[in-house]
Amino acid sequence: MEASVAARPLISVGALCGSLRTGSCNLGLIRSAIEISKSIKGLQIEYIDISPLPLLNTDLERDGSFPPAIEAFRQKILEVDSVLFASPEYNYSVTAPLKNAIDWGSRDPNVWGDKAAAIVSAGGGFGGGRSQYHLRQIGVYIDLHFINKPELFLNAFETPPKFDSDGNLIDEQAKESLKELLLSLQAFTLRLQGR
């Protein structure tokens, strides 16, 4: 078994956070995922910052090209094998910055198509679960393929705390759940690509 794990091809994951706050627990989930990925052979995660993206306005598209920040973002999505979303919940849905990034990526030609994806979230009582389900619906139209299990919803406000005051994940059981999710994303990406 160990030999087959060592022989796995490299899977690159682009990680997007729907919150723009520096101390966001959802950004903390991405930082933790990047750290955990260092212990998983064949998996590499890169954080893709969506904060520089202007609001979607098709007037910004000129002669089949996009503004430089959008072109750079779209290129990064094209280059990764799969996507990890950290999706906080705003008003039962995904955040405006995340929806904006998704919409820019879906402009013709759609850069999301046929990529594997996974979602993590932290928030209030349901841990951002409603945003996850809404994001899955969006994914149907843009041809993203989400792993079904495991799901990871974390209540960011319960006691004992799962996050420190800087938004870093400190709960060991949650870290283990996050690792299981990343392993599932890796395996699903390989299967989807026929590797």
Per-residue pLDDT 10s for the chain (195 aa) are 444 555 667 999 999 999 999 999 999 999 999 999 999 999 999 999 999 999 999 999 998 899 999 999 999 999 999 999 999 989 989 999 999 999 999 999 999 999 999 999 998 877 788 899 999 999 999 999 999 999 999 998 888 999 999 999 999 999 999 999 999 999 999 999 988
Fold classification of 2-192 is Rossmann fold (3.40.50)
Q: Which residues contact 169 (CB under 8 A, 6 or more apart)?
A: 25, 28, 29, 31, 32, 162, 163, 175, 178
pTM value? 0.93
Domain ranges in the chain? 2-192
